[in-house]
Every structure is written in structure tokens, then in C-alpha cells.
Amino acid sequence: MLKFNIYNKSCYSLAELENNSIESLITDPPYGISYQNNYWDKDLPSKEIWQNSFRVLKEGSFGLVFSSIRLMHRLMVDLEDSGFIIKDVLMWSYLNGMPKSRNVGLTIDKELDIESKKIGEYKYVQGYKKGGADNYIAKTKYKLSPSSELGKKYDGAGLGIKPAYEPIIMIQKPIITSKNIAQNIIINGAGALNLEETRIPYENGETKVGHNPHPNGRVAANILRTDKFKDGYDKFFLVPKVRQNKDDFNYHPTLKPVDLMHHLVKLITFDKQTVLDPFMGSGSTGLACLKLKRNFIGYELDNGYFKIAETRLKKEKTIVDSSLF
Ligand SMILES: C[S@@+](CC[C@H](N)C(=O)[O-])C[C@H]1O[C@@H](n2cnc3c(N)ncnc32)[C@H](O)[C@@H]1O
């Protein structure tokens, strides 16, 4: 029978879990960038969680850890210092990232105490709200253009480019010393990626490439995309971003798409194995696990998010269990 165990507490000690007992780690931890000022995103997690993840994973197990462009280097050092091998960095790319920037020309006007020119109006809403533009209060803002000479020179200049991907660090706990891959898998059931189940099917009408094309498609790549970019490189796993508030009751601000988690769970696990997510949020990894008949262990500190995860997982488990009989 499929199992999920979830804990409403800090994950750092993983005290409930035995050494060398779990086959994979998939998690989306705090990025440490104060995203939308969330209280839990002020810092990167303590290294203790990676040391304990290393302790509870079986030798050869793979892990996938979401990260941010700005701080992934620090997270990678913490993971490596905790004993993991850095195997790859997957890039989950999308088209709808918003540049976090400002018009430097207008900032210069302000600094020089010169009023910028009003050249129009627009409706502004912070973030996306369910129900479309008519269902929330939009503020009217002015479109401005710099008035000062220096402001004009820097009109449109900014401080950052449009973010179009999130990195996902792939790690592995080294296999048992003095054993080879096959011996490690025989002992631990861990040490290989599930490349067969994660093949990307050929598109209708696409000519198969290579001397010996596999009937089920291409091997999964380290680029995952949200939409077709129509640039000739669309042969990767495609998964749209989910909107916050997509489900009425799920208000988690950094909700990950279950389809994305589904692909990642399939990539590093095999049937009936167990996935650990120490920072489960609203439980998206767990949901993907149940759909794929993987066992799941999750931790979440915040009681509100924990309850959302519990509701989602219980509902999915009822569906999965009834389909087993
Ligand atoms: C980026 S979010 C995960 C969101 C998740 N991927 C989803 O789809 O809902 C990270 C989560 O880690 C939780 N968290 C932060 N510190 C924690 C800790 N020490 N132990 C357990 N959870 C923690 C936060 O409350 C937050 O919900």
C-alpha cells in the first residue's frame, strides 16, 4: 500500500528518519532572496538539512534541489560540503518572467528634484489575481518620461534583465565504496536515472533523428520549458507555470506545477520507491509522487501551508487507493 508521512515541523534534524533508508530527495527550499517579502525566504536553509539528507539517503540516491540564479552557488557549496556529488544543473525556463527593474532615467529626475513628464495612464495590479482584471481593484498609474538632460540620456536604462529560468541542482550520494554501479543497485535500489520513463515523445509528423531512433522518443534533457519557444529547440519537456491562486484554497506563493514535479519524480525514482521533500510547502512533490505510485515523506514548518498539503495529499491518496483495487 502506498504511504505518505508528513510532518508539521522543521525538517533540519530529520530525526524521524533512519540512516540510509530513502531512495531520493526532491525539494524546493527557501531561495534566501526574500521573495515577495515572505518571512520564510530570508535566508538559505542551514547546512544541517543537507547533512541530514545525506545521512538518510541510500548510497547512490539522486536528488533534485530547486534554487535561484543569484544564490545557487552557495547552495551548491553547502550540498558538496555535505558529501553530495554535483551531477548537473537543470534549467526550467519560461517566457513569462518579469524583469525586476526600474527606469533609471526617472530615478535621476527624482534625485535632481525635477518632475518627470506625464505621457499617459495605465492600470496596475500587483501579481496575478484569479478572475481577471474586473475582479480586483487596479490602481491608476502614470506613464512617465524623464525631463532632465541626464534623465533623458538614461531613459529606459535598468538594473536587471528578464529572468527566464530557474536552476534545479542535480546531486547524488556516492555509491558504496568498493562496489560498482550494478552491485550498488542490487544492494540499495539506487544509483541510476529513470531515462526510459522520462523520454520526450516525438511530435506528430516529426522525422526521427539519429541512426537508431528510440520508438518512445528522446532522452530527457537538462532543459525544461514552459512553452514552445518556436526556435528549433522545442524538443524538451514542456510544462506551463502555474498561477498562484489556481486552486481557491492553495495560496502558497511559490507553488510549483505538479506536471513539472511529476517529470522530476519519474526521472530519479523507480516504482514504489520513496521521495523525501524537507520543504514541501503545499505538497506539489507529494502529489506527483502519489500519482506515480511513489511513497512520500514531507516536512513543512508553516501550519497554514501544511494544512493545504495535507488536504491535497489526502484527496489524491483516496483517488490512487481506489484505483489500486
Ligand atoms: C519554496 S517553498 C516550497 C513550495 C512548494 N514547492 C509548493 O509547490 O508548494 C519552501 C517552503 O519551505 C518551508 N520551510 C522553510 N523553512 C523550513 C524548515 N526549517 N522546515 C520545514 N519547512 C520549512 C516554507 O514554509 C515554504 O513553504
Looking at the structure of the chain, the number of domains it has is 2
From 134, 153, 172, the end of a domain falls on 153
From 112, 128, 153, the end of a domain falls on 153
* 29 Cα to the center of ligand 1, angstroms: 6
- Domain check: are 146 and 257 in the same one? no
- Domain check: are 17 and 123 in the same one? no
Residue with CA closest to ligand 1 atom 26: 281
- Distance (Å) of CA 222 to CA 125, 236, 274: 34, 8, 23
- Domain check: are 28 and 110 in the same one? no
Whether the CB of 282 sits within 6 Å of ligand 1: yes
pLDDT band at 235 (very low <50, low <70, confident <90, very high): low
As beta bridge partners, residue 237 has 224
Whether the CB of 165 sits within 6 Å of ligand 1: no
Higher confidence at residue 1 or residue 224? 224
- DSSP letter string over 152-165? HHTTT--S-PPP-E
Higher confidence at residue 45 or residue 1? 45
Q: What's 36's domain CATH number?
A: 3.40.50.150
Whether the CB of 255 sits within 6 Å of ligand 1: yes
From 118, 133, 153, the end of a domain falls on 153
- Domain check: are 183 and 136 in the same one? no
- Domain check: are 304 and 257 in the same one? yes
pLDDT band at 137 (very low <50, low <70, confident <90, very high): low
For residue 148, what pLDDT is reported? 98
Q: Is residue 62 part of a domain?
A: yes
Q: Where are the beta strands (DSSP E) in 67-158?
A: 85-93, 117-124, 139-145
- Distance (Å) of CA 70 to CA 75, 91, 93, 101, 263: 10, 14, 15, 15, 25
Of 305, 306, 308, 312, which is best to mutate to test ligand 1, by the most ligand atoms within 8 angstroms of its C-beta? 305
171-230 pLDDT per residue, tens: 999 999 999 999 999 999 999 999 999 998 887 766 666 777 788 888 888 988 766 666
Using DSSP bridges, classify how beta strands 85-93 and 165-172 pair: parallel, antiparallel or unpaired. antiparallel
pLDDT band at 253 (very low <50, low <70, confident <90, very high): confident
- Residue 288 belongs to what domain range? 4-96+164-324
* 274 Cα to the center of ligand 1, angstroms: 19
Q: Is the dihedral of CA 271, 256, 27, 75 positive or negative?
A: positive
pLDDT at 307 over 60: yes
Whether the CB of 7 sits within 6 Å of ligand 1: no
Give the rounded percent of residues in the chain with a pLDDT score beyond 70: 85
Arithmetic mean of pLDDT, 128-155? 80
* 279 Cα to the center of ligand 1, angstroms: 4
- Domain check: are 125 and 190 in the same one? no
Least confident stretch, 35-39, 91-95, 96-100, 305-309:
96-100
Q: Is residue 317 part of a domain?
A: yes
Q: Is residue 302 part of a domain?
A: yes
pLDDT at 89 over 90: yes
Cα(144)–Cα(63) distance, rounded to whole angstroms? 48
* 302 Cα to the center of ligand 1, angstroms: 8
For residue 209, what pLDDT is reported? 63
97 CB-contact burial (10 Å; exposed 0-12 / middle 13-18 / buried 19+) = middle
Average pLDDT, the chain: 88
pLDDT band at 77 (very low <50, low <70, confident <90, very high): very high
- Domain check: are 201 and 307 in the same one? yes
- Domain check: are 137 and 175 in the same one? no
- Cell numbers for 149: 538632460
Arithmetic mean of pLDDT, 257-266? 93
pLDDT band at 245 (very low <50, low <70, confident <90, very high): low
pLDDT at 233 over 80: no
Angle in degrees, CA 260, 264, 267, rounded to 5: 140
Q: Is the dihedral of CA 58, 64, 66, 67 positive or negative?
A: positive
pLDDT at 281 over 60: yes
pLDDT at 127 over 60: no
Cα(140)–Cα(36) distance, rounded to whole angstroms? 22
Whole-model pTM over 0.85: yes
pLDDT at 136 over 70: no
Whether the CB of 35 sits within 6 Å of ligand 1: no
* 183 Cα to the center of ligand 1, angstroms: 36
8-64 pLDDT per residue, tens: 999 999 999 999 999 999 999 999 989 889 999 999 999 999 999 999 999 999 999
pLDDT band at 73 (very low <50, low <70, confident <90, very high): very high
Cα(86)–Cα(177) distance, rounded to whole angstroms? 18
- Domain check: are 57 and 202 in the same one? yes
In the chain, the N- to C-terminal Cα span, in Å, equals 11
Q: Is residue 158 part of a domain?
A: no
Q: Is residue 224 part of a domain?
A: yes
- Domain check: are 145 and 213 in the same one? no
Backbone conformation region of residue 45, classed left if phi is above 0, alpha if psi is from -120 to 50, else beta: beta
- Domain check: are 82 and 205 in the same one? yes
- Domain check: are 56 and 13 in the same one? yes
For residue 20, what pLDDT is reported? 98
Whether the CB of 61 sits within 6 Å of ligand 1: no
Q: Is residue 159 part of a domain?
A: no
Backbone conformation region of residue 200, classed left if phi is above 0, alpha if psi is from -120 to 50, else beta: beta
Of 40, 53, 241, 307, which is best to mutate to test ligand 1, by the most ligand atoms within 8 angstroms of its C-beta? 40
Using DSSP bridges, classify how beta strands 139-145 and 165-172 pair: parallel, antiparallel or unpaired. unpaired
Q: Which atom of ligand 1 is nearest to the CA of 27?
A: 6
For residue 144, what pLDDT is reported? 96
Least confident stretch, 68-72, 93-97, 192-196, 232-236:
232-236
Q: Is residue 233 part of a domain?
A: yes
pLDDT at 271 over 70: yes
Q: Is residue 292 part of a domain?
A: yes
